[in-house]
Structure 1
């Protein structure tokens, strides 16, 4: 296993940021000579080789990382951002969070070290296949499917916002289809859910007319699940008797709806930390954070 900057920091009894300052000879940092010597000795003893982040710092690349959250506000967004921010600070970088559409002029002005774009998965200098945090996050949609299948549901619908959610939705759908296929079950029916509850009710009506076999809905997130439940109320449907519903990425209001929304809790802060390391071109290591889990309430 490759020696990391954290290994050197632990051996030297200093912070990772201090190791970065010493090995990159940061001129603006005043450190004791004995501290510098201790860091260099630890790095030499462990055989630490600075990776590309160190070279980038020497070359004067910006220490900003931009996270484009788009319309991502609910659920565990705050925890994810907290993980991003704290991990980046460990390596003397700072996080800038932008909401709304991607602004290329602003990105050019900021000249960040990396851009994490939630909508299109645009990670600078990061391999997203397999190790990507969004891909990993999407895999937890399988937990929704497993829960519904364990309850006896065999025909599922996947509900997502009508405005779309970029490539993350495509990846989520891929994992769900793969899971159902492995279980010998039919592919899920897709349900686009608009913000307007009346329009959502019309869409749910069409779903039930065209696919009466569907008994459960796995939603893209808790907000989408709430919209499905609101539409169900208009149509006089009961959950879970007439239609089971499960959300994703537990939000504070998921327990406030009546009946309480079943959802999936994920370790968003852990994903934020992994995203930060990927953005800096650093190894992420094995996933050691708590697994996602179903928070079961009355809708399933």
Structure 2
């Protein structure tokens, strides 16, 4: 009948077609360890399963094994920028190579969607930042066997920063080395990353205080609409170097400087952060800080796999050394 649902091909159908026992076919299709199935029989089963259109029943396999082979990564409510995309891509690839699926979710303030840890039965729930105690209680209550990190934010053992802290130090050191003496911090105005902005600003201040005995001459949250006015104010204050939160903010300030006929880097030096493709494409090309976002992705995958399989955790985190990339704006 047109439109009628197609009957799902089962392992029993494959066994019946080949005249083999259901157990033998099940051992092959489930790749059951400890079974000695002749290679010829295994090849026949796999070929017939493909011919008939057999697809494994994921729900049944999960019930039978207690494993869904799903890793749920809970993301903070941050913008999906180049850095985030890079390490998520790398984590997804590494997990896929190990036979696991990476699924992400982002809880939003006031959101009403049912958390995926309640519906997917993931083997591991991992947070990019520590969970609240309420979230931990909910995840444990849903039966998830492994949680990373396993303690709430603020408790001993919670990992508060999976990013990098050397970047702002290198930005400031480079600007001081090239002779800049009045530095401004150009921040992002996105409220979702206020904590990250505050962290980088504090690191820039600390470096200035340690190396030069001074502090930031100015700081502001930058948008496309306020960049020109803010830059004029900074120039009036004698600012000659800008530490930008990221390459997007650095590019906005660079555009404002060029439209104001300010020589970059002659009158004003600018250093971004993240070494995004944008940094290489703008003219003049942005000096910036490169970090190993792909390495962070692989590290996240290794942590998740160690929890899911019981294997030893990675001996060390990702390579956290930042690398200053000097181009044309400094």
1:28-59 CA distances to partner (integer Å, 9 max, x unpaired)?
A: 95333179xxxxxxxxxxxxxxxxxxxxxx87
2:74·2:107 contact (CA, 8 Å) conserved in 1? no
Name the residue aligned to 1:190: 219
1:58-90 CA distances to partner (integer Å, 9 max, x unpaired)?
A: 876883323436453443333211232234446
1:287-298 correspondence to structure 2 within 5 Å: 287=317, 289=319, 291-298=321-328
State the superposition RMSD in angstroms: 3.5
CA, structure 1 residues 67+176, in 2 after alignment: closer, same or farther (shift >3 Å)?
same
1:138·1:168 contact (CA, 8 Å) conserved in 2? no
Name the residue aligned to 1:149: 176
Displacement, 1:297? 1.2
2:279·2:285 contact (CA, 8 Å) conserved in 1? yes
1:253-284 CA distances to partner (integer Å, 9 max, x unpaired)?
A: 21221211111111101112233455676744
1:195-229 CA distances to partner (integer Å, 9 max, x unpaired)?
A: 33xx21012222233x32x2111111111100001
Displacement, 1:183? 1.0
Structure 1 residue 263 corresponds to structure 2 residue 288: yes
Name the residue aligned to 1:80: 87
Name the residue aligned to 1:167: 195
1:69·1:97 contact (CA, 8 Å) conserved in 2? no
Partners of 2:158 and 2:170 in 1: how far apart? Answer: 19
CA, structure 1 residues 177+76, in 2 after alignment: closer, same or farther (shift >3 Å)?
same
- What secondary structure is seen at the aligned counterpart in 1 of 2:164? helix
1:49-198 correspondence to structure 2 within 5 Å: 63-68=70-75, 70=77, 72-89=79-96, 93-98=100-105, 101=108, 104-106=111-113, 108-111=115-118, 113-117=124-128, 121-123=129-131, 125-126=148-149, 132=159, 134-164=161-191, 165-188=193-216, 189-196=218-225
Which is worse superposed, 61-70 or 175-184? 61-70
Name the residue aligned to 1:54: none
Choose between structure 1 and 2 for higher RCO, CA contacts under 8 A separated by at least 6 residues.
1
Displacement, 1:299? 0.5
- What secondary structure is seen at the aligned counterpart in 1 of 2:198? helix
Partners of 2:160 and 2:294 in 1: how far apart? Answer: 11
Partners of 2:295 and 2:160 in 1: how far apart? Answer: 9
1:144·1:218 contact (CA, 8 Å) conserved in 2? yes
2:69·2:99 contact (CA, 8 Å) conserved in 1? no
- What secondary structure is seen at the aligned counterpart in 2 of 1:285? coil
Partners of 2:148 and 2:184 in 1: how far apart? Answer: 36
CA, structure 1 residues 239+181, in 2 after alignment: closer, same or farther (shift >3 Å)?
same
Q: TM-score scaled to structure 2, two decimals?
A: 0.62
CA, structure 1 residues 153+92, in 2 after alignment: closer, same or farther (shift >3 Å)?
same
Structure 1 residue 30 corresponds to structure 2 residue 31: yes
| Structure whose CA Rg is larger | 2
Partners of 1:132 and 1:116 in 2: how far apart? Answer: 10
